Structure 1
Amino acid sequence: MNISMRKISAIFILRLHLILKNLSLLMAPLMAIGYVIAFKNFFPSNLPSLRALTLNMGIILNITMGGIMFGSYPIAEEKEHHTLRVLMTSSVNATEYFIGSLLPSLLILTLVSIILVPLSGTSWQQVSIINYLVITIICTIISILVGFTVGIFSHNQTSAGVLSLLPTVIFTFIPMFKGFNKTISTISDFLYSGVIAKFINQSLLKHRFTWNLFDVGVLIVWLIIFSIVLIYAYRYKHFD
């Protein structure tokens, strides 16, 4: 399969414009920023536990809710307006379409994730920027893949919102509340978004995050799972 950078670039620019003009799509990253600012102002404490909670919630909201919305809503909108099938039967192939659609979402959400660190009052000396970028970028890609799958199975933006509700709740709220219950904490450890919470907690509370095979495996397994699910969904819906 030949991949054209020109076509990917064209889809990238088109999707970037669509995202930036769609306020409902931008709600998740804006909510994450607003939450961090509000929480920091309402509870002006330098306690590491409070900063960890604030940063955790902001990042997880941005990556999971934002990633799933950024992936699902545009595809659902294109299906609703009958433009997706036109794209899929034109000279644009599936790989070009999904890469061109993924990159602008990844760019915006990664920039927001970077902004959230200083907004929460956290120093980059406390958080390894390399580990932070690796984890947040991988988790953002996984969330966007979830969104792509939801979008393919959705008939319109309304159904996309309904179908994305369950994965959004699971991947967003379980890691957020892992500190309140041992069972929830155990489940969170097996979620890709749980790796984010573990990284932030260890960086701010224990002042050190160390990679281990379990966390690497969790990220790789979820990335593979949703890549396979997306391929199946694409072929099942017969867009080729």
Structure 2
Amino acid sequence: MNFSIKRVNSIFIKDWKDLQKNNYILFTLAIPLVFAVWLGRIGAESAIYNTYPIILSLVLVGSLIQAAMVAEEKEKNTLRGLILSPASTTEIFLGKCALSAILASIVIIASVFLSGYNVPSPPLFSVSVLLGLAFYLAIGTIIGLISRTVMDTSIIGVPVLLIFGISFKSLVENETALMIINYLPNEALNTIWVDLNNGKGFSGIIENILILLAWVVISIVTTVIIYRKRRVD
């Protein structure tokens, strides 16, 4: 089957029309922006603080909104029709992730602007954000696929996203636990941004870039496996 941009666009447009009717999603979009405005007003200078809205955007917009949209398709029994349509797995994934990716990108850019964060090494910073976005979109899709309803995405998603969205390093003293935490995607992102802010180049962040890349591959493969299982069901 040949790839069709028209099928991807049709899925994207449908999601866009559904989004305009969903006040929950529109409210969620505003949370990182409000936090960014607050950081801008207090004049936070720490790189860690200034990147919080970015992580928040990835978690809330990239994952929770993505999960809600996928679960809403299931709740309305429209996902079954989409799965059985001529659209390929790649087309469905691209179409379903496109809106969340665009929204997350807009919110991230706006958050950077509103918080007054001076982005170090924009090309390397952008690469890290794109890898992070790919991971969180995949996690959101997984949550949506295993949830029965939109309400379930909060029950299932919040504990998962707490692990991948909040840094626990300051609360942990055990060296083994700290080593494990350092391999989490959110910690890899934070480390990359701090290192870039301290003047390091590609060679200084390559290890964490590879960690992120590994998480992206694992999450996408897991998404495809769960999707195919749902397709058979």
Q: Same fold (TM over 0.5)?
A: yes
RMSD value, Cα: 2.2
CA distance in 2: counterparts of 1:5 and 1:156, whole angstroms: 29
In structure 2, do the counterparts of structure 1 residues 57 and 227 end up closer, same or farther at CA, with 3 Å as the change threshold? same
- Of 35, 54, 63, 2:58 maps to 63
1:200-239 equivalences in 2 (<5 Å): 200-204=193-197, 206-211=198-203, 212-239=205-232
CA distance in 1: counterparts of 2:194 and 2:54, whole angstroms: 12
Q: 1:178 maps to which residue?
A: 169
Q: 1:196 maps to which residue?
A: 189
Q: 1:44 maps to which residue?
A: 43
Residue 29 of structure 1 contacts residue 61 of structure 1 at CA under 8 Å; is this kept in 2?
Answer: no
In structure 2, do the counterparts of structure 1 residues 160 and 180 end up closer, same or farther at CA, with 3 Å as the change threshold? closer
Q: 1:72 maps to which residue?
A: 67
Q: Measure how far apart 1:15 and its partner are.
A: 1.5
CA distance in 1: counterparts of 2:186 and 2:24, whole angstroms: 23
Stretch moving more, 9-18 or 185-194: 185-194
Q: 2:136 maps to which residue?
A: 143
Residue 80 of structure 1 contacts residue 157 of structure 1 at CA under 8 Å; is this kept in 2?
Answer: yes
Do structure 1's residue 165 and structure 2's residue 164 form an aligned pair? no
Q: Measure how far apart 1:20 and its partner are.
A: 4.2
Please give the per-residue CA displacement for 1:34-57, whole angstroms capped at 9, x wherever unaligned.
01111332x235xx32xx233221
- Matched letter for residue 194 of structure 2: N
Please give the per-residue CA displacement for 1:151-181, whole angstroms capped at 9, x wherever unaligned.
111111111211111221001112xx53565
CA distance in 2: counterparts of 1:151 and 1:191, whole angstroms: 21
1:75-94 equivalences in 2 (<5 Å): 75-94=70-89
1:120-131 equivalences in 2 (<5 Å): 120-124=115-119, 127-131=120-124
Q: Measure how far apart 1:208 and its partner are.
A: 3.5
Other structure's SS at 1:100 match: helix
Q: Measure how far apart 1:108 and its partner are.
A: 1.3
Counting aligned pairs with the same residue, the percent is 23
User: Structure 1, unaligned stretches of length 5 or more?
Assistant: none
CA distance in 1: counterparts of 2:106 and 2:157, whole angstroms: 23
Following TM superposition, where does structure 1 have runs of at least 4 consecutive aligned residues deviating by more than 6 angstroms? none
In structure 2, do the counterparts of structure 1 residues 55 and 63 end up closer, same or farther at CA, with 3 Å as the change threshold? same
Q: 1:96 maps to which residue?
A: 91
Please give the per-residue CA displacement for 1:170-196, whole angstroms capped at 9, x wherever unaligned.
01112xx53565557644421222222
The alignment of Structure 1 onto Structure 2 pairs a total of residues equal to 230
CA distance in 2: counterparts of 1:194 and 1:28, whole angstroms: 23
In structure 2, do the counterparts of structure 1 residues 10 and 35 end up closer, same or farther at CA, with 3 Å as the change threshold? same
Please give the per-residue CA displacement for 1:10-68, whole angstroms capped at 9, x wherever unaligned.
11122223234423223443111101111332x235xx32xx23322111110123211
